[in-house]
Structure 1
Amino acid sequence: MTSHGASNERLRAAITGSGSSFTDVGEAVGVDRKTVERWVGAGRVPHHRHRVALAQLLGEDDVFLWPQTATSQRSESASQAEFVALYPNRGSVSIDTWASLIDGATEAIDVLAFAGSFLHDAIPEFDERLIAAARRGVQVRLLFGDHEGDAVARRGEEEGIGDLLSARCRLTWNYLQGILPAPGVTARKHNATLYASVFRFDETLLANPHTYGAAASHSPVLHLRRLPGGRLFTTYMKSFDRTWDGATDVSAG
């Protein structure tokens, strides 16, 4: 694609930060070193398939690396295609759907919420299902609120339930004591402002946006399926990863 003149310092920093060389990157995405040098030094924008492959390799969003592609018709189309369904509230997602997503995962299960009480209350054998997933090689990451943290207290006040949310978070961590020793399960406590709860099962993600003054269970749920070039799945997973990075590890052992 055509050169934009200025060097791409975001791409340079991402490559450097990954510990890779231009040659390493080129081999990973199927081009030679000189092509990668032009992408960085001359600001050339790679073809779509190379952008997607390179962004995934570096763990970055392709729009961050190449902002000029943000309005590309193909990217917009891919993001729209990622959208599978809209549930008017969390209760509209059937228990069978939750259970099948857990049982069907083969690579990753990521959960981000404050308390997520419904997981233990409504999904049969939730703990056992997670342990079974970990045993078959699924990476399970659990990220729940610190019941002593400011974020949980503030959210409880906003919902008008006072200390109840803190109590729910404490109960969640009590429930999890039986899961934490399982190999393949890691857990962290966060003290972050959550704009959405995130539930990821391989390439499927359920995002439950938070509404000021209302419980998360009363807010809609977006059902997403990751597609190459799409942005919705990646946007929510970047939120998960940022929260994870700033959280406190409480995994057993």
Structure 2
Amino acid sequence: MPNERLRDALLRQGLNLDHVARAAKVDPKTVERWITKNRIPYPKHRHTIAAMVRESENYLWPDALPTERKAEVAVSEVIKVYPHRHAVPRELWSRLIDNAHEDIEILVYAGMFLTEYPKLIHQFREKAQGGTRIRLLFGDPVSREVTRRSEDEGIGKTTLAAKVRNALAFFRPLRDEPNIEIRCHGTTLYNSIYRFDDEMVVNTHLYGFQAAHAPALHLRRLSAGDLFENYSESLESVWKSAKEPKWAKE
């Protein structure tokens, strides 16, 4: 079975067999076998290719590492655990936003705390104009999932939907900006995810608690890890099924 992840990653970076062969110091036919026959390269070659295509080794070759080794790497991906999301320092959020140059991805129901950053719209617009891809995912305010989550948090049926509408109103000025996409989803979220290039904050969801009072994990992507990658793939799955907000069709 071909390694479609590797093939796709190379295509996205405009790389061919010869590029990879020169970097890894192997024959192009060897690279072809890595792709078409899903052969797993030696670790030194995996490191080289992963760096070239800016993907983790575990994403490109999920079966390359034994389970025990994956668990060890996952521990190293966790920079810090915060007991509550509101305990994440404001300085950390600012640094993550400032240092992101390729991807900013946010998956939430409302994420209203983001509206407390008055310069955020300007920052996102400036980053998008500089080439940063920004994807913002909010809950669909009329979905049953948002209603259910609102009830689970103990704030009533309609409160969270109102927060989502307020968040969409806040980010509405960005709707026509190149490199910025905003969508709404109707999925059950077990975590809110905030990705900034190779760093991420994962805010877990707890029954009976608002997101601000639930724990948050600060992660950094490692080439051989799969913790960061799993959350990233989860976000991607929600993105694929999400739709444009109704105001985007006006």
Q: In structure 2, give the amino acid aligned to 1:158.
A: D
Q: In 2, Cα distance between the equivalents of 1:48 and 1:13?
A: 19
Q: In structure 1, give the amino acid aligned to 2:65.
A: T
Q: TM-score, normalised by structure 2?
A: 0.81
Aligned pairs for 1:61-140 (under 5 A) are 62=58, 65-67=61-63, 69-71=65-67, 73=69, 75-120=70-115, 122-140=116-134
Q: In 1, Cα distance between the equivalents of 2:54 and 2:120?
A: 33
Distance 1:44 1:175, change over 3 A: closer
Q: In structure 1, give the amino acid aligned to 2:235.
A: F
Distance 1:166 1:236, change over 3 A: same
Q: Which residue of 2 aligns with 1:3?
A: none
Q: In 1, Cα distance between the equivalents of 2:113 and 2:198?
A: 22
* Residues 45, 66 of structure 1: 8 Å contact kept: no
* Residues 109, 199 of structure 1: 8 Å contact kept: yes
How many residue pairs align between the two structures? 240
Q: TM-score, normalised by structure 1?
A: 0.80
Distance 1:187 1:229, change over 3 A: same
Q: In 1, Cα distance between the equivalents of 2:86 and 2:57?
A: 31
Q: Which runs of 5+ in 2 are unaligned?
A: none
- Percent of residue pairs bearing the same amino acid type: 34
Superposition RMSD on alpha carbons, in Å?
3.1
Question: 133-142 vs 58-67, which deviates more?
Answer: 58-67
Q: Which residue of 2 aligns with 1:4?
A: none
Q: In structure 2, give the amino acid aligned to 1:109.
A: I
Distance 1:110 1:33, change over 3 A: same
* Residues 51, 62 of structure 1: 8 Å contact kept: no
Aligned pairs for 1:1-253 (under 5 A) are 9=1, 11-14=2-5, 24=16, 27-28=19-20, 30=24, 31-36=26-31, 39=34, 44-51=39-46, 53=49, 57=53, 62=58, 65-67=61-63, 69-71=65-67, 73=69, 75-120=70-115, 122-161=116-155, 162-250=157-245
Q: In structure 1, give the amino acid aligned to 2:208.
A: G
Q: In 2, Cα distance between the equivalents of 1:183 and 1:114?
A: 23
- Shift, 1:133, TM fit: 1.9
Distance 1:158 1:138, change over 3 A: same
Q: In 1, Cα distance between the equivalents of 2:201 and 2:142?
A: 27
Q: In 2, Cα distance between the equivalents of 1:42 and 1:163?
A: 52
